[in-house]
Copies of this chain bind each other. A is one copy, B any other.
Amino acid sequence: MDDVSNQDQAIELLQQLGLKEYEAKSFVALARRQRGTAKDISETSEVPRTRVYDAIRVLESKGLVETQHSNPQVFRAVSIDEAVNTLQSEYVERAESLRNALGGLEPTDEGESTETTHEVWSISGDQGITSRTRQLIEGATEELILVIGHESIFTEQLAEQLRSAQERDVNVFIGTVDEKLRTTIQDALPDTEVFVSGLDWLSRSPLPDDDTEISRLLLADREAILISSFTETRADGREHEQGVFGRGFDNGLVAITRRLMATGLLSMNDPETEET
């Protein structure tokens, strides 16, 4: 974790938090040298000197920088904690206002009614998928079957949710792709049945050019499922999690998954039937 990458990361994060490039660079430059003139900042930040003044003014109005009106002017960054708290509370406040504004919206009466079965929704992004997973776990009343295809999926939060489901008398079964992961999870959830899924194609795709990796597979009360996978195929190289989510006992996708899951469970209890 060298300093250069830290600096660049800080600049990037500041921009994501709403600052412009010059503002972010100026702030980082100032943050690491306590105080400085426009010239100083310009030199350590690559920001044109003549633009430092604008940037600082914005930073000042956001409460991140203080100015000494001498000649030359001297600028100073507030402490890191203060800066982060300021930025953070700004967003938390906005989020709170948003909650109110959205809550106060009167719904349009149109388009409410559609049959609630046979639906398949696609979601993407780790956030949304994790959130939907939680919802399904919390909503389950009888049974949860969860297959975890990658260790990164199994977080402490997830374990917590599963424990809480068990306390509501939901039967929880957890499948994994290999023995190593199985042990890890069994340790975290001693009261749960954790098995290595008999479904070989889960871990290694039978297709040649398939760099998709199953990341989770959840069946809740045998009537709602969620399947998600990682794909490498992205322009920027980063992995992206995509998923589908289906509900309804007679939903085709749910039905198929139910079968597959049952097979995976069976094969574990009764190896002879593996090729069913």
- Given A83-B102, A102-B84, A105-B3, are A122 and B60 neighbors across the interface (CB < 8 Å)? yes
Q: Is A10 interfacial (CB-CB < 8 Å)?
A: yes
Q: A124 and B60: CB pair below 8 A?
A: yes
A110 CB-CB contact with B under 8 Å: yes
Is A9's CB within 8 Å of the partner chain B? yes
The answer to whether the Cβ of A80 comes within 8 Å of any Cβ in the partner chain is: yes
Query: A18: shortest Cβ distance to chain B, in Å?
Result: 8
Q: Residues of B contacting A101 with CB < 8 Å?
A: 6-7, 9-10, 13
Q: How many residues of A contact B (CB 8 A)?
A: 80
Distance between A254 CB and nearest chain B CB, rounded to angstroms: 14
Contact segment of A31-39, A188-196, A260-268: A31-39
- Classify the interface of chain A: helix, strand, loop or mixed: helix
A99 on interface, CB distance cutoff 8 Å: yes
Closest beta carbon of chain B to A233's beta carbon, Å: 15
A164 close to B (CB within 8 Å): no
Q: Check if A32 sits within 8 Å of B105, measured CB to CB.
A: yes
Assess whether A153 is interfacial by the CB under 8 Å rule. Answer: no
In the complex, the answer to whether A98 meets B63 with C-beta atoms within 8 Å is no
Binding site for B on A (CB under 8 A): 1, 3, 6-7, 9-10, 13-14, 16-18, 28, 31-36, 40, 44, 60-64, 66-69, 74, 76, 78, 80-92, 94-99, 101-108, 110-112, 114, 119-132, 135, 240, 245
